[in-house]
Amino acid sequence: MSLQIVELNKIEQPMKYLIIALLWSGYCALHSYLISVGFTNALAKLLKKYYAFYRLFYNLISLVLIIPLLKYTNQIDSAIIISYGLPLTIVRYFLIAASILIFLWAFFIDYDSLFFFGIRQIINQNRTKSTESSEGLKKKGLLGIVRHPMYFALIIYLWCQTFTLAGIVVNIVLTIYIFVGTWLEEKKLVMELGETYRKYQEEVPMIIPFTKRRSL
């Protein structure tokens, strides 16, 4: 077999995997809430012009919280239960390389990376134009194939890095979060862009490429 799943005689302390799932679910819930429409609108009214710094703060908080979570997950379970043989190893490395390329291409070319980091908002904080508004809906490049290419790449990368039971648990939680978070993000985009984005939804698949037929 190219893919070997190591049998465990006994999974010790099964509660620890539940704890991992709950911790990651809590992180995802907090991550989503801090960028939700209701919370950010209330914060924008409270902070006024200083709200321009919130995106940068949000990214820093997300990074600070995920580092100990990753360390805890790695410490609690390091036993490899999935190993890859030669044919699948080549496929795995190819998919990892492709996912990284797709992610970087989308991040630096199809999206505004300065906006993602929160730098664009700080630069534009004294301008009359809202920093939350977009320059227009982009449909070229990867965005013409899938609406969220970075999330698609992330799912591929996650499941190509699965070796432990804890990794499987975390990846299940993160994959569910990606789809739920994307759905919430889509609702926000529909509110901001209206019919333009609804038409885009009909033409281009959300996360999985080539799952929609383009209308002739």
Which sign does the torsion angle of CA 47, 65, 172, 162 carry? positive
Helix (H), strand (E) counts: the chain = 9, 2
Q: What is the tens place of the pLDDT at every residue in 142-198?
A: 999 999 999 999 999 999 987 888 899 999 999 999 999 999 999 989 988 899 999
Residue 21, token pair as written in the block: 């799932």
Instruction: Using the predicted structure, report yes or no on whether residue 17 has a pLDDT greater than 70.
Output: yes
Confidence of residue 56 (pLDDT cuts 50, 70, 90): very high
Which residue(s) pair with 202 in the sheet? none
Q: What is the tens place of the pLDDT at every residue in 78-110?
A: 678 878 888 888 999 999 999 999 999 999 999
Q: How many CB atoms lie within 10 A of CB 174?
A: 18
The predicted model gives 32-54 an average pLDDT of 92
Asked if 170 and 176 touch (Cβ cutoff 8 Å), the reply is: no
Considering the entire predicted model, what is its pTM? 0.84
Most confident of 53-57, 124-128, 163-167: 53-57
Q: What is the mean pLDDT of the chain?
A: 86
CA atoms within 13 A on the CB side of 166: 21
DSSP code string of 133-150 = S-S----SGGGGT-S-HH
Q: How many CB atoms lie within 10 A of CB 178?
A: 19
